Amino acid sequence: MPQRLRFFLLGLAVMCCLWVPVAHGHALLHEFLDGEAVIVRLTFAGGDESPWFEPYEVFAPGEETAFQSGRVNALGEVMFRPDRPGAWKLRVISADGHGATITLEVDGAGEVLAVEGTHGDAHGHWSRVIAALGYVLGAFGLLMIWRQWRARPPPAA
Amino acid sequence: MHIPDGLISPQTYLPALALAAPLWLVAGRRLRDRLGDEMLPRLAVFTALAFLLSTVMLPLPGGTSGHAVGVSLLALVFGPWTAFMAYSLVLLLQAVVVGAGGITALPVNALAIGFVGAWTAVALYRGLGFLGETPAVLLAVWGSVMTSALILALVLGMQPWLAHAPDGTPRFFPFGPAVTLPALLIPHALIGAGEAALTLLIFRHARRRRWLAVRG
């Protein structure tokens, strides 16, 4: 082997050894991606408060193992990026027994087409409360009418 | 306080339904026998008030919030069976119209809050009558809220043990009693105190008007 080639290979070996610390043997590498994410904002009924830092799980369509899990952020939001179309489920559970399961119908482009939640959306809460108060009073009103109808005297022969 | 759908297993809500159904039947019959033309509009207004109390969220220390229950007011004025029936209607409308609570969870909520809560309030009110009316009402309402919270905390805390995947992952509610007991009992100790004060005011008004069906 020519002398010059020997020196070249020796130099290359020294450079490779010096390069090792830069290679980060077991480091977790990262890269930035551009993309669309689904963002779900959560609030407790009847107020602006959110379930901050409560645990959540996201399930891909038809899957029983979580696709993503974590805690709701300080803004009361959960973000995830669906990788396939179908019905994605988001389950949020607080330690005191409050919670919700939200189903998001996602298309092939990652757009949310429909949302179905066990607790519905945050809008119109007080409208529903007032409506329910009406149902309570209405139910007792119907009961009163029914009682009066039953108690009426039989028609004279 | 009431549990929503999806957090409790069928192993919990099916036996609860089997227990609640005959109790609803008994309560319905007793209500039918007792209901008079004077009592009916009063019961309607008190049920609406209980509904409203269970809907308004109150901010609590620690960044969380909670709501009053309202069943002990119904129990102290109309008796435990009527309160159980009326509060079951409240829970049903909460689930169907407002989206709080749930249909599958209804028997559990009705038993823990409506039945046990109402009976605890009346039993404590009668048992503590020797202390005088005011302490008896305050302790009865507080004790009722705490007893219901305790039962629901235990029901929730049992879920990881009752329903889990082969690898041990909980299928429904994931936290055990070590988490659920403080999470429910500490906030409800404050909620119960506030509800007790409010109930006392309304209870006194009801007593002056001779609306009470429960004797101390």
Reading chain A (157 residues) residue by residue, the pLDDT tens digits are 677 888 888 888 888 777 665 556 677 888 888 888 899 888 776 556 666 678 889 999 988 888 999 988 888 889 999 999 999 999 888 777 777 788 899 888 878 877 876 555 555 677 788 888 888 888 888 888 888 888 777 777 6
pLDDT exceeds 60 at position B63: no
pLDDT of B78? 94
Q: How many CB atoms lie within 10 A of CB B114?
A: 32
Residue B100 near residue B113, CB atoms below 8 Å: no
Considering only CB atoms, which chain A residues are within 8 Å of B59?
47, 49
DSSP letter at B116 equals: I
Pick the closest to residue A97 from B99, B62, B101 (CA basis): B101
Chains A and B: how many Cβ contacts under 8 Å?
114
Of B110 and B98, the one with more pLDDT? B110
Has residue B26 got a pLDDT over 90? yes
pTM, to two decimals: 0.76
For residue B63 the two structure tokens come to 């960044």
The answer to whether B187 and B58 have CB atoms below 8 angstroms apart is no
Confidence of residue B37 (pLDDT cuts 50, 70, 90): confident
Question: Could you tell me the CA-to-CA distances from B209 to A116, B42, B54, B60, B77 in Å, in that order?
Answer: 47, 11, 25, 34, 11
Arithmetic mean of pLDDT over chain B: 90
Nearest chain A residue to B65 by CA distance is A49
Other beta carbons less than 10 A from residue B106's beta carbon: 24
- How many angstroms separate the CA of residue A68 from the nearest CA in chain B? 15
Q: Give the list of residues 6+ apart from residue A48 with CB closer than 8 angstroms, or none.
A: none
Chain A residues whose beta carbon lies within 8 Å of the beta carbon of residue B179? 95
Give residue A22's pLDDT. Answer: 58
Is B22 part of the contact surface with chain A (CB cutoff 8 Å)? Answer: no
A44 close contact with B: CB closer than 8 A: yes
pLDDT at residue B33 in the model: 87
Read off the tokens for A45.
């009924």
Contacts 24+ apart (CB under 8 A), B124-129: B125/B76, B125/B214, B125/B216, B126/B214, B126/B215, B126/B216, B129/B216
Are B106 and B16 in contact by the 8 Å Cβ rule? The answer is no
CA B3 to chain centre: 11
Say yes or no: A142 contacts chain B, CB-CB below 8 A.
no
3-state secondary structure of A58: strand
Could you tell me if A56 and A72 are in contact, meaning their C-beta atoms sit under 8 angstroms apart? yes
